[in-house]
Amino acid sequence: MKSIGREFMEKTKYRYLGESDQDKGLPQPPLELACPSDAFLLDLPAIGEIGVKELDLTLAMDERRTVRKYGQGALSLEELAYLLWYTQGVQRVTPRPVTLRTVPSAGARHSFETYLLINNVTGLTPGLYKYVALEHKLMVVDLAEGMCERVTQSALNQVFINNSAVTFIWTAVTYRMMWRYGERSYRYIHLDAGHVCQNLYLAAQAVDAGVCAIAAFDDDELNSLLGLDGQEHFAVYLATVGKL
């Protein structure tokens, strides 16, 4: 009997893939989840208006480390906008249409939505937000007290989440990728997560912050907390960010 992992690798090989919904001529899903009609949106500083220190890429890669202990300093709204832009910023929407962003994605499908647990960002009330990438804005999701503790619990009580300025939570809308790639999409979603998180690690160097990627979490608990169904839309990866 094969393990689940081996079975997954076998059955997502190209020879098992059938005709995709794209091949069938079905319409592609939206490029981003729609905001509720009553959503409260916050403007973010435009990337051209944000000033951060210049940092040589080679130096950023050499000095990048996983950091689990953070200082007391807050991230500014400009610094948060900078990190969001360089992890999921939309540079252009093509006529196809697809989004061209600051990170690569298989077929430019970009299946991710970015949720943010805000703890210590200047001008923002602590709580749960979502990045509206097409508009470069923040949407308020839940500002209830205790949100940080609930996210921490869902991430197996990794206490450095409590001490971070912000925790990025990347979730995947599966059909956005599956429309083109079928079952192989699950491989691509997890590969894409690595691209996004590495950009966060490198971009954080320019704002004197550290990052810790988190793959250990209770899927069902975190999905429930975010209001996701866990199948068509589910959490993939987290990363804390805090000042050094």
Residues 169-212 have pLDDT tens digits of 999 999 999 999 999 999 999 999 999 999 999 999 999 999 99
Domain region containing 162: 4-30+40-243
Contact 130, 41 (CB under 8 A): no
18 within some domain:
yes
3 state SS of 69: coil
The residues of the chain scoring below 70 in pLDDT are 1
Kindly tell me the sign of the dihedral angle through the C-alpha atoms of 211, 216, 219, 225. negative
CATH classification at residue 146:
3.40.109.10
**What is the maximum alpha-carbon separation in the chain?**
57
Helix (H) or strand (E) holding 113: strand 112-118
35 within some domain:
no
CA atoms of 202 and 57, how far apart (whole Å): 8
Task: Retrieve residue 206's tokens.
Answer: 């320019």
214 within some domain:
yes
Contact 77, 122 (CB under 8 A): yes
**Amino acid in position 2:** K
3 state SS of 27: coil
Give residue 51's pLDDT: 87
71 within some domain:
yes
Task: State how far Cα 223 lies from the chain centre.
Answer: 14
136 within some domain:
yes
Number of domains in the chain: 1
- 3-state percent breakdown (helix, strand, coil) of the chain, nearest 5: 35, 25, 40
**Whose CA is closest to 207, among 240, 242, 239?**
242
56 within some domain:
yes
Give residue 1's pLDDT: 61
3 state SS of 133: coil
Sheet with 41-43, edge to edge strand ranges: 41-43, 137-142, 127-132, 112-118, 166-173, 233-243, 209-214
113 within some domain:
yes
**pTM to 2 decimal places:** 0.97
